[in-house]
Structure 1
Amino acid sequence: MDNDGDIFEDDLEILDIIDFGFPRQIYNRANHFVNLDELSFFRRFRLTKNTTLALLELIEEDLEFPNDINQSVSPMNQLLTCLRYYATDGHLMAIADFTGMHTSTVSRIILRVSRAIASLGQRFIKMPERDEQLQQTAQDFFVTARFPRVIGALDGTHVKIISPGGEDGEIFRNRKSYFSINVQAVCNAHLQILDVVARWPGSAHDATIFANSRLRARFENGNFRNYILLGDSGYPLKPYLFTPLHNPLTRGQQLYNAAHIRTRNCVERLFGTWKRRFPVLAYGVRLKLDTALVVIVATAVLHNMAIDMNEEEPPPPEAIDPDELERFIALGQIQDIPFLVDHPNPVNLRNELVHNYFAN
């Protein structure tokens, strides 16, 4: 990602300790929560006012300052600053101008608020575990294309970052030649994120990420009974992870593949919805690596919270070309090299499903 004139966090740490000899600037901060109507607010911050208030109640204690000296930023303004960053193409200076703050303040607020939101992950991002949850999740998938026992659709998407530099910087360069985090996500039929892994470099294969995930270990340990995930051909076939047939010949095999594609399509729609709601995920997170990882998880929490609050997908953000946004979203979808090693046990299980269910 080219340096487009933004000030990055490393630069901000230097700016904070340099005395330029200029008088301190006092910024005028607008009250966007009060001043904007509901639609304008929704377009600019990607959440409704109602959801924003509900979110603030959950994290306000983490954002409070012990005193009000030096024009300390209120929890609401901190939250809106962070949401505004998520809603844009990631230019810190533009956020600073919009919120009436210095870029160094904006950068620190984004990290602080993102950490607070990401800490809600265990509350908002979780796999179904109880029998009734598993049954309901599988039923929701079943009505899509009558594929049985599915409790999640699995895939990866790439989120642009700036080069981390150092000896290992190049491992973050993906097969489309830009630096990224390969984010693994599992979703349900309602596009809610059930599991997210946001720490692997762009060069990592989807199958490698899953093989080293806690979710795989939980399936191996039988935590989800006889329920399964659906993944594309970039994943290995497992007793709990069904992939498409490479060369479907019979009608049963063709029906299996068609149902598989239609059922698993929800994870593709998830990535589009997630990145349209928070365009910074499509355009790229121009912050230090550790902060970028927190931002990804925080936006996943907010995505689920928006669904829980029955929010619609927000209108296209201002100052962003919708067609350009769609191109950036498509850029994040990188098809991995097919994983062609089939093991006898899961092959038999898949064939059994094809012959006993889809062929009848």
Structure 2
Amino acid sequence: MLEPHLKKPSNKGLPFAPEIMILVTLRYYATGSFQKLDGDVMNICQQSVSRIITTVSNSIALQMKMFVKFPSTVEDINQVKQKFFEVAQFPGVIRCIDCTHIKIRSPGGMSSEVYRNRKGFFSINVQAVTRPNLEFFDLVARWPGSTHDSFIYNSSSVKQSLNIGDLQGQGMLLGDSGYAVSSVCLTPFLSPNSIGQEMYNNYHIKTWNTVERTFGIWKRRFPCLQMGMGVKKETVVAVICACATLHNISKMLDDVMMPSTDDTDDNILISNIDNVPVQENPNSNGFLVRQSVVNRFFYCIVLYFNCFIL
């Protein structure tokens, strides 16, 4: 037996250094691997890795409102409108909206099936509002996978700010066919019956695709969001919010990640076939507002080209 004075001191029960905790968490975000494998790199047990990821993710998520936020001045809003207009010449847009599913393990319990989405796996349905430079304006990450995109939008503060017409409501929101068209939320025509409506759809899709490109870059930057997470549901929400915060910080620091071939327009359009379209009422106020946009902007383009050809 070793003499007491020759025994090496144990680190059991001592806190981990903050640098180690951050590195372990970032490795989990960047690889999406099993926690045991992450722990083996640092010689840390799986239980400690789980606690570290939860602690660090919650700390970063608490800072989300500092980095994921809407513009605060009229000048900032006008700049956003101009940037969106430069994407595809669609007028008056201040934000784009869509939802994406983050795969999780079954949360268990009587209500676990509400987390199973239309594709058959368990997920959190995350609503994001994005800006033209592929950053997040707003993120909602608390709804189970079976929740429809339009329900999340109708329950969100984003819709409320647009309806009351405050500073954040000074412009249009673009969504896909999974949302109901309204006076503040413009969606594509399900069955365009004129050249103007077809042009509207083309310009709309090119502008709205910025939110899909944001999702693509976000998930490639943090593969844990794409591969699925085996942590507790509450920790999943914290990880999602933390990754959104870090994504915006990366954009602020010009840490550019180039779009891949998976972020092309064709792949985005194919991916949206799974969305359940909301039925339209041709006599609704939203339908009339959308048609007025077509009449004001896109028929003028059609007439211009016709005159140019003649």
TM-score, normalised with respect to structure 1: 0.75
Instruction: Report whether the alignment pairs 1:357 with 2:297.
Output: yes
Q: Tell me, what secondary structure is at the counterpart of 1:134?
A: helix
Using the alignment, how far apart are the partners of 1:330 and 1:88 within structure 2?
28
Matches within 5 A, 1:66-77: 70-77=13-20
Shift of 1:90: 3.4
Instruction: Report whether the alignment pairs 1:219 with 2:162.
Output: yes
1:133 maps to 76
2:265 maps to none
**Seq. identity, %:** 41
- What letter corresponds to residue 72 of structure 2 in structure 1? E
1:89 maps to 32
Instruction: Report whether the alignment pairs 1:337 with 2:276.
Output: yes
- What letter corresponds to residue 234 of structure 1 in structure 2? G
Closer, same or farther in 2 for the Cα pair 1:142/1:332, shift >3 Å? closer
CA deviations over 1:239-280 (Å, ceiling 9, x no partner): 111000111122211111110000001111111101100000
1:348 maps to 288
2:43 maps to 100
The number of equivalent residue pairs is: 287
- What letter corresponds to residue 218 of structure 1 in structure 2? S
Closer, same or farther in 2 for the Cα pair 1:143/1:106, shift >3 Å? same
CA deviations over 1:289-327 (Å, ceiling 9, x no partner): 1111111111000010000000022899xxxxx99xxxx
Matches within 5 A, 1:3-152: 70-152=13-95
- What letter corresponds to residue 89 of structure 1 in structure 2? G
1:159–1:332 contact (8 Å) kept in structure 2: no
2:224 maps to 280
CA deviations over 1:36-94 (Å, ceiling 9, x no partner): xxxxxxxxxxxxxxxxxxxxxxxxxxxxxxxxx84421111111111000011231111
CA deviations over 1:111-148 (Å, ceiling 9, x no partner): 11001100111110011231011101110000011101
Closer, same or farther in 2 for the Cα pair 1:314/1:77, shift >3 Å? farther
Q: 2:234 aligns with which of 284, 290, 315?
A: 290
2:5 maps to none
- What letter corresponds to residue 126 of structure 2 in structure 1? V
Shift of 1:26: 6.3
Closer, same or farther in 2 for the Cα pair 1:108/1:75, shift >3 Å? same
Q: Tell me, what secondary structure is at the counterpart of 1:359?
A: helix
Instruction: Report whether the alignment pairs 1:271 with 2:215.
Output: yes
How well do the aligned residues superpose, as a CA RMSD in angstroms? 2.6
Instruction: List gaps (5 residues or longer) in structure 1.
Output: 1-23, 28-68, 317-321, 324-328
Q: Tell me, what secondary structure is at the counterpart of 1:90?
A: coil
- What letter corresponds to residue 174 of structure 1 in structure 2? N
Q: Tell me, what secondary structure is at the counterpart of 2:274?
A: coil
1:226–1:240 contact (8 Å) kept in structure 2: no
Closer, same or farther in 2 for the Cα pair 1:134/1:116, shift >3 Å? same
Closer, same or farther in 2 for the Cα pair 1:339/1:315, shift >3 Å? closer
CA deviations over 1:197-234 (Å, ceiling 9, x no partner): 00100101000110111111111111234401100000
Instruction: List gaps (5 residues or longer) in structure 2.
Output: 1-7, 263-267, 301-310
Q: Tell me, what secondary structure is at the counterpart of 2:81?
A: helix
CA deviations over 1:80-110 (Å, ceiling 9, x no partner): 1110000112311111012221111110010
Instruction: Report whether the alignment pairs 1:301 with 2:301.
Output: no
2:163–2:169 contact (8 Å) kept in structure 1: no
Shift of 1:288: 0.6
Matches within 5 A, 1:198-237: 198-223=141-166, 224-237=168-181
Closer, same or farther in 2 for the Cα pair 1:153/1:211, shift >3 Å? same
